Amino acid sequence: MKRSIRFYLYFTVIAIFCSEGFALDPTKSLLQYGRDVWQAKDGFTPFAIHALHQTRDGYLWIGTDEGLVRFDGTQFTTFNKANTKELLVNAIVSLSEDDEGQLWMGTLGSGVLKYKNGIFTRFDTSTGLPTNNIFSIFVDSRNTVWAGMLNYGYAELQDGKWKSHTARADFQFNNVHYISENIKHELWFGFGNIGKKNKGSDTLQYYTIPKSGIIHTICFLDDGTPLFGHREEIYTLVNDSVRLFFNEEISLGGNIRCLLRDRRGNLWIASEGGGLFRYTNGV
Protein backbone atom coordinates (compact mmCIF):
# COMPACT_ATOMS: atom_id res chain seq x y z
CA MET A 1 0.00 0.00 0.00
CA LYS A 2 1.95 2.99 -1.25
CA ARG A 3 0.96 6.60 -1.04
CA SER A 4 2.55 8.96 -3.52
CA ILE A 5 2.76 12.52 -4.70
CA ARG A 6 4.39 12.96 -8.06
CA PHE A 7 5.50 16.54 -8.63
CA TYR A 8 8.68 18.52 -9.03
CA LEU A 9 9.61 20.97 -6.29
CA TYR A 10 7.95 23.78 -8.21
CA PHE A 11 7.06 26.60 -5.83
CA THR A 12 7.96 25.08 -2.47
CA VAL A 13 11.18 27.00 -1.95
CA ILE A 14 9.37 30.32 -2.43
CA ALA A 15 7.47 29.63 0.78
CA ILE A 16 10.25 27.96 2.75
CA PHE A 17 13.48 29.69 1.79
CA CYS A 18 12.38 33.21 0.86
CA SER A 19 13.63 36.09 2.97
CA GLU A 20 11.34 37.85 5.41
CA GLY A 21 11.63 41.01 3.34
CA PHE A 22 9.93 39.44 0.35
CA ALA A 23 6.16 39.12 0.29
CA LEU A 24 3.95 37.40 -2.25
CA ASP A 25 1.14 39.54 -3.61
CA PRO A 26 -2.08 37.52 -3.15
CA THR A 27 -3.70 39.34 -6.07
CA LYS A 28 -1.20 37.89 -8.52
CA SER A 29 -1.00 34.47 -10.10
CA LEU A 30 1.98 32.29 -9.22
CA LEU A 31 2.83 32.40 -12.92
CA GLN A 32 3.71 36.11 -12.46
CA TYR A 33 6.58 35.17 -10.14
CA GLY A 34 9.92 33.58 -10.86
CA ARG A 35 9.87 29.82 -10.71
CA ASP A 36 12.57 27.39 -9.67
CA VAL A 37 12.39 23.81 -10.87
CA TRP A 38 14.83 21.06 -9.85
CA GLN A 39 15.19 18.01 -12.03
CA ALA A 40 17.64 15.13 -12.49
CA LYS A 41 20.26 17.37 -14.13
CA ASP A 42 20.31 19.48 -10.94
CA GLY A 43 20.81 16.48 -8.68
CA PHE A 44 17.15 15.89 -7.83
CA THR A 45 15.28 13.01 -9.41
CA PRO A 46 11.49 13.51 -9.24
CA PHE A 47 10.72 10.46 -7.10
CA ALA A 48 7.27 9.91 -5.66
CA ILE A 49 7.20 12.41 -2.77
CA HIS A 50 5.33 11.57 0.42
CA ALA A 51 6.44 14.18 2.97
CA LEU A 52 8.09 17.59 3.32
CA HIS A 53 9.59 19.08 6.48
CA GLN A 54 11.90 22.00 7.22
CA THR A 55 14.04 21.47 10.33
CA ARG A 56 15.10 24.32 12.59
CA ASP A 57 18.58 24.33 11.06
CA GLY A 58 17.04 25.37 7.74
CA TYR A 59 17.34 22.12 5.79
CA LEU A 60 14.39 20.97 3.72
CA TRP A 61 13.85 17.21 4.10
CA ILE A 62 11.90 15.24 1.52
CA GLY A 63 10.47 11.77 2.09
CA THR A 64 10.36 9.81 -1.16
CA ASP A 65 9.98 6.29 -2.53
CA GLU A 66 13.73 6.24 -3.12
CA GLY A 67 14.94 7.41 0.28
CA LEU A 68 15.35 10.53 2.40
CA VAL A 69 16.50 13.64 0.54
CA ARG A 70 18.10 16.68 2.24
CA PHE A 71 18.16 20.03 0.43
CA ASP A 72 20.27 22.97 1.63
CA GLY A 73 19.01 25.43 -0.97
CA THR A 74 21.69 24.42 -3.47
CA GLN A 75 22.50 20.72 -3.23
CA PHE A 76 20.52 17.53 -2.72
CA THR A 77 21.83 14.69 -0.56
CA THR A 78 20.04 11.34 -0.63
CA PHE A 79 20.06 8.74 2.15
CA ASN A 80 18.87 5.30 1.06
CA LYS A 81 19.43 1.62 1.78
CA ALA A 82 22.51 1.64 -0.46
CA ASN A 83 24.39 4.12 1.75
CA THR A 84 22.55 3.96 5.10
CA LYS A 85 22.49 0.59 6.88
CA GLU A 86 19.58 1.59 9.14
CA LEU A 87 17.35 1.90 6.07
CA LEU A 88 16.07 -1.56 5.15
CA VAL A 89 13.77 -0.06 2.52
CA ASN A 90 13.76 3.29 0.76
CA ALA A 91 10.15 4.42 1.24
CA ILE A 92 10.03 7.39 3.68
CA VAL A 93 6.38 8.37 4.05
CA SER A 94 6.24 10.76 7.03
CA LEU A 95 8.50 13.32 8.76
CA SER A 96 8.41 15.21 12.07
CA GLU A 97 10.87 16.94 14.43
CA ASP A 98 11.25 16.91 18.21
CA ASP A 99 12.36 19.60 20.68
CA GLU A 100 16.00 18.54 20.38
CA GLY A 101 15.99 19.04 16.61
CA GLN A 102 15.96 15.30 15.91
CA LEU A 103 14.21 14.32 12.68
CA TRP A 104 11.77 11.40 12.98
CA MET A 105 10.70 9.32 10.00
CA GLY A 106 7.92 6.85 9.32
CA THR A 107 8.80 4.17 6.76
CA LEU A 108 7.06 1.35 4.95
CA GLY A 109 9.25 -1.54 6.04
CA SER A 110 11.97 -0.05 8.27
CA GLY A 111 9.77 1.00 11.20
CA VAL A 112 10.59 4.40 12.73
CA LEU A 113 13.91 6.17 12.15
CA LYS A 114 15.49 9.03 14.09
CA TYR A 115 18.24 11.25 12.66
CA LYS A 116 20.59 13.67 14.44
CA ASN A 117 24.10 14.88 13.58
CA GLY A 118 24.60 12.31 10.86
CA ILE A 119 23.47 9.33 12.98
CA PHE A 120 20.37 7.23 12.24
CA THR A 121 18.64 5.18 14.96
CA ARG A 122 15.98 2.59 14.06
CA PHE A 123 12.95 1.51 16.10
CA ASP A 124 11.22 -1.60 14.77
CA THR A 125 9.49 -4.80 15.88
CA SER A 126 12.67 -5.85 17.68
CA THR A 127 12.35 -2.78 19.92
CA GLY A 128 8.63 -3.06 20.65
CA LEU A 129 6.78 -1.69 17.62
CA PRO A 130 3.89 -3.96 16.54
CA THR A 131 4.81 -3.49 12.86
CA ASN A 132 7.52 -2.00 10.67
CA ASN A 133 4.93 -0.37 8.37
CA ILE A 134 4.45 3.19 9.63
CA PHE A 135 2.08 5.51 7.78
CA SER A 136 2.52 8.57 10.00
CA ILE A 137 5.02 9.92 12.52
CA PHE A 138 4.26 12.96 14.68
CA VAL A 139 5.92 14.72 17.63
CA ASP A 140 3.37 16.58 19.76
CA SER A 141 3.71 19.70 21.93
CA ARG A 142 4.82 17.56 24.91
CA ASN A 143 7.62 16.10 22.77
CA THR A 144 5.86 12.71 22.69
CA VAL A 145 6.43 10.71 19.51
CA TRP A 146 3.34 9.09 17.94
CA ALA A 147 3.29 6.52 15.15
CA GLY A 148 0.29 5.72 12.94
CA MET A 149 0.52 2.15 11.72
CA LEU A 150 -0.78 -0.29 9.12
CA ASN A 151 -3.26 -2.71 10.77
CA TYR A 152 -2.15 -1.84 14.32
CA GLY A 153 -3.71 1.53 15.13
CA TYR A 154 -1.27 3.95 16.73
CA ALA A 155 1.50 3.88 19.31
CA GLU A 156 3.32 6.41 21.49
CA LEU A 157 6.92 6.35 22.68
CA GLN A 158 7.11 6.51 26.50
CA ASP A 159 10.44 6.30 28.33
CA GLY A 160 12.03 4.58 25.36
CA LYS A 161 9.23 2.00 25.00
CA TRP A 162 6.30 1.90 22.59
CA LYS A 163 2.80 1.85 24.08
CA SER A 164 0.35 0.52 21.52
CA HIS A 165 -3.31 1.55 21.17
CA THR A 166 -4.92 -1.21 19.12
CA ALA A 167 -7.86 -3.62 19.16
CA ARG A 168 -9.96 -1.22 21.21
CA ALA A 169 -13.73 -1.36 21.05
CA ASP A 170 -13.96 2.37 20.23
CA PHE A 171 -11.25 2.33 17.57
CA GLN A 172 -13.03 2.15 14.23
CA PHE A 173 -10.08 1.67 11.92
CA ASN A 174 -6.64 0.30 12.67
CA ASN A 175 -4.94 1.84 9.64
CA VAL A 176 -3.89 5.29 10.89
CA HIS A 177 -2.68 7.33 7.93
CA TYR A 178 -2.10 10.69 9.62
CA ILE A 179 -1.61 12.20 13.08
CA SER A 180 -1.58 15.90 13.95
CA GLU A 181 -2.32 18.28 16.84
CA ASN A 182 -4.34 21.49 17.14
CA ILE A 183 -3.74 24.62 19.24
CA LYS A 184 -5.72 23.07 22.12
CA HIS A 185 -3.21 20.19 22.17
CA GLU A 186 -5.83 17.71 20.99
CA LEU A 187 -4.56 14.90 18.77
CA TRP A 188 -6.32 14.22 15.48
CA PHE A 189 -6.12 10.95 13.57
CA GLY A 190 -6.85 10.37 9.90
CA PHE A 191 -8.05 6.96 8.71
CA GLY A 192 -11.27 6.18 6.80
CA ASN A 193 -12.88 8.93 8.85
CA ILE A 194 -11.49 11.30 11.52
CA GLY A 195 -10.79 10.74 15.19
CA LYS A 196 -10.06 13.41 17.83
CA LYS A 197 -8.40 12.55 21.13
CA ASN A 198 -9.31 15.19 23.69
CA LYS A 199 -6.56 16.39 26.01
CA GLY A 200 -6.41 14.19 29.12
CA SER A 201 -8.72 11.56 27.62
CA ASP A 202 -7.92 8.14 26.19
CA THR A 203 -11.05 7.89 24.04
CA LEU A 204 -11.66 9.17 20.53
CA GLN A 205 -14.46 11.35 19.23
CA TYR A 206 -15.31 10.40 15.64
CA TYR A 207 -16.35 12.50 12.66
CA THR A 208 -17.71 10.81 9.55
CA ILE A 209 -16.72 11.86 6.04
CA PRO A 210 -19.70 11.55 3.67
CA LYS A 211 -17.71 9.65 1.03
CA SER A 212 -15.57 6.54 1.32
CA GLY A 213 -11.82 7.03 1.17
CA ILE A 214 -8.84 7.85 3.36
CA ILE A 215 -7.75 10.97 5.26
CA HIS A 216 -4.13 11.33 4.14
CA THR A 217 -3.42 14.77 5.61
CA ILE A 218 -4.65 17.23 8.25
CA CYS A 219 -3.69 20.84 8.92
CA PHE A 220 -5.11 23.71 10.98
CA LEU A 221 -5.93 27.35 10.33
CA ASP A 222 -4.75 30.05 12.74
CA ASP A 223 -7.95 29.79 14.80
CA GLY A 224 -7.58 26.02 15.11
CA THR A 225 -10.11 25.11 12.42
CA PRO A 226 -9.10 21.71 11.00
CA LEU A 227 -8.76 20.92 7.30
CA PHE A 228 -8.85 17.32 6.10
CA GLY A 229 -7.54 16.12 2.74
CA HIS A 230 -9.83 13.36 1.46
CA ARG A 231 -9.68 12.10 -2.11
CA GLU A 232 -9.90 15.24 -4.30
CA GLU A 233 -11.69 17.35 -1.70
CA ILE A 234 -10.90 19.30 1.45
CA TYR A 235 -13.28 19.07 4.39
CA THR A 236 -13.56 21.07 7.60
CA LEU A 237 -15.79 21.24 10.69
CA VAL A 238 -18.66 23.72 11.02
CA ASN A 239 -20.50 23.58 14.35
CA ASP A 240 -18.89 20.18 14.93
CA SER A 241 -20.25 18.81 11.64
CA VAL A 242 -18.16 17.81 8.61
CA ARG A 243 -18.53 20.22 5.68
CA LEU A 244 -16.71 20.86 2.40
CA PHE A 245 -14.08 23.58 2.78
CA PHE A 246 -13.86 24.41 -0.91
CA ASN A 247 -17.16 24.96 -2.69
CA GLU A 248 -15.56 26.22 -5.89
CA GLU A 249 -15.72 24.20 -9.07
CA ILE A 250 -11.99 23.51 -9.13
CA SER A 251 -9.96 20.44 -9.88
CA LEU A 252 -6.88 19.65 -7.83
CA GLY A 253 -5.88 17.01 -10.33
CA GLY A 254 -5.93 13.97 -8.07
CA ASN A 255 -6.12 12.72 -4.50
CA ILE A 256 -4.85 15.23 -1.93
CA ARG A 257 -1.72 13.97 -0.16
CA CYS A 258 -0.36 17.01 1.71
CA LEU A 259 -1.82 20.18 3.23
CA LEU A 260 0.60 22.77 4.59
CA ARG A 261 0.14 26.22 6.16
CA ASP A 262 3.32 28.19 5.57
CA ARG A 263 4.82 30.92 7.75
CA ARG A 264 2.75 33.57 5.97
CA GLY A 265 -0.58 31.82 6.27
CA ASN A 266 -0.75 30.53 2.71
CA LEU A 267 -2.36 27.15 2.17
CA TRP A 268 -0.35 24.74 0.03
CA ILE A 269 -2.00 21.65 -1.45
CA ALA A 270 -0.11 18.76 -3.01
CA SER A 271 -2.18 16.32 -5.03
CA GLU A 272 -1.34 12.99 -6.56
CA GLY A 273 -0.52 13.62 -10.19
CA GLY A 274 -1.87 17.18 -10.12
CA GLY A 275 1.07 19.12 -8.72
CA LEU A 276 1.37 21.79 -6.05
CA PHE A 277 -1.19 24.54 -5.48
CA ARG A 278 -1.11 27.69 -3.34
CA TYR A 279 -4.14 29.57 -2.00
CA THR A 280 -3.54 32.97 -0.45
CA ASN A 281 -6.74 35.01 -0.36
CA GLY A 282 -9.07 34.46 2.59
CA VAL A 283 -7.42 31.30 3.93
- Is residue 23 included in any domain, yes or no? no
- Is residue 67 included in any domain, yes or no? no
- Is residue 192 included in any domain, yes or no? yes
- Is residue 219 included in any domain, yes or no? yes
Q: Rounded to two decimals, what is the model's pTM?
A: 0.78
**At 215, which helix (H) or strand (E)?**
strand 215-220
- Is residue 28 included in any domain, yes or no? no
The residue segments making up the domain with residue 118 are 79-279
* Interval 128-170: pLDDT, tens: 999 999 999 999 999 999 999 988 989 999 888 899 887 555 5
Pick from 241, 245, 257: nearest CA to 135: 257
**At 16, which helix (H) or strand (E)?**
helix 12-17
**CA–CA separation, 147 vs 137, rounded Å?**
5
- Is residue 237 included in any domain, yes or no? yes
**CA–CA separation, 12 vs 14, rounded Å?**
5
- Is residue 252 included in any domain, yes or no? yes
**How many structural domains is the chain composed of?**
1
- Is residue 55 included in any domain, yes or no? no
* Interval 31-65: pLDDT, tens: 443 334 444 554 445 456 788 888 888 888 888 88
List the CATH number of the domain containing 262: 2.130.10.10
